[in-house]
Structure 1
Amino acid sequence: MKIMLDAGHGPNTIGKRTIDGKMKEFEFNEVVAQLVTNELSTFGITVMHSHDKKRDVPLNERTKVANNMRVDAFISIHANAFGTTWNNVSGIETFTYTKPSEQSIILASLIQNALCSITARTNRGVKKADFAVVRDTKMPAVLVECGFMTNKQEAILLQSKDYRMRCAKAIAFAILCWIEHKR
């Protein structure tokens, strides 16, 4: 089983940060992707990354690598934002493509439920969107938003080691459940 993890955006993406500028989104995304990799590796799962710590990888390159490697699933990890000022919008949501495969829906539901359970954050649900990473991949693909960088409470959580580990454990658990479900 081969899983592709995508730490959304990149280290140099402008504007993707907490309102106070203390954390770039990629910092959260990349750490969680590595923690998920560590968790899955202990179960013998092959994990690859579509991102690069040193440069912003274009979306078409990310999906092309996943398709060429013929991975079994693609999971893009993100921290959300709403507006340009601190606000009360909060919670976790997971996206599939607008016309998702049945396996994408199952994977998204497992990730959404596991994340909401382990973090006790608001469940904003599984949603559909025309995001390139879920549209242009040929395997089950989801994009997960682990909290809002524009919410002061969630911004603090997104910067904490404990919350990052909780998110990683939830995502890894959901992936393992999905793999078991496929068997």
Structure 2
Amino acid sequence: MIIVLIDNGHGSDTPGKCSPDGRHREYLWARDVAQRLEKALTEEGITATRIVTEQRDIHIAERCRRANAVCRQHGAKNVILVSLHNNAAGNEGQWLDARGWTVHVSLNASSRSKRLAQLLYDQAERLGLQGNRSVPKERYWIQNLGICRDTNCPAVLTENLFQDNREDVAILQSEEGRQRIVELHVEAIKNYIKEYNL
């Protein structure tokens, strides 16, 4: 049995993290999509839970502590973590051109983290969400991300479109767009479970 941990990203008190016009707030979007993803996975018979149910920002050390407690209880190989975010090309409050979907792993990523990332990117591409970014041959980006680095299970961080791109914000704000992103995660997770016979 596998347990999918869903991390909502930032909180209501995190500065910035919104579209230039203020109508898109990352913390609200991430919590809505996390709840949808939890429900969709549960309906597929997959155990899923959010590690952050609070509206406020929860420090990354506490989020990692919560994830690692589940790993200790069920075995790290039986757990995966997905952290949901929106990307931004700048921080000056202007609309910019970069758009699309990316997935990230840590510098110390396991082979399973990398494989989960590849499966996620494959689904994003299938759903037409890859955008205009240059894609590395591995189909994932490597960064020093605490939520992936300091958790004991396979972990990825998804940047679900750009909150400072008008076209991407329109997708993020739409019902159809949110459901596409949920579908992306569900199908990739199902493929991961099948591949590793979990």
TM range (shorter): over 0.9
> Contact (CA 8 Å) 2:100, 2:129: kept in 1 or not?
no
Q: Return the match for 1:138 from 144, 148, 152.
A: 152
Q: Return the match for 1:151 from 165, 180, 189.
A: 165
> Contact (CA 8 Å) 1:119, 1:167: kept in 2 or not?
no
Which amino acid in 2 is paired with 1:52?
Answer: T
Which amino acid in 1 is paired with 2:41?
Answer: L
The answer to whether the aligner puts 1:73 opposite 2:69 as a matched pair is no
Distance in 2 between residues matched to 1:157 and 1:27, nearest whole Å:
15
Aligned-residue offset at 1:134: 0.5
> Contact (CA 8 Å) 1:8, 1:78: kept in 2 or not?
yes
Counterpart position of 2:38: 37
- After superposition, give the CA deviation of every residue in 1:49-85 in whole Å (9 maximum; x if it has no partner): 1222432111111111010111610000111011121
Distance in 2 between residues matched to 1:146 and 1:31, nearest whole Å:
13
Counterpart position of 2:178: 164
Q: Which sections of structure 1, spanning at least 5 residues, go unmatched?
A: none
Distance in 2 between residues matched to 1:48 and 1:17, nearest whole Å:
25
Q: After the TM superposition, list the runs of 4 or more consecutive aligned residues in structure 1 that deviate by more than 4 angstroms.
A: none
1:8-87 matches, cutoff 5 A: 8-70=9-71, 72-83=79-90, 84=92, 85-87=94-96
Q: TM-score, normalised by structure 1?
A: 0.95
Distance in 1 between residues matched to 2:39 and 2:187, nearest whole Å:
12
Distance in 2 between residues matched to 1:121 and 1:135, nearest whole Å:
25
Q: Which sections of structure 2, spanning at least 5 residues, go unmatched?
A: none
> How many aligned residue pairs are there?
183
Distance in 1 between residues matched to 2:33 and 2:125, nearest whole Å:
16
Structure showing greater radius of gyration is: 2
Counterpart position of 1:106: 115
Aligned-residue offset at 1:120: 3.8
Distance in 2 between residues matched to 1:121 and 1:95, nearest whole Å:
14
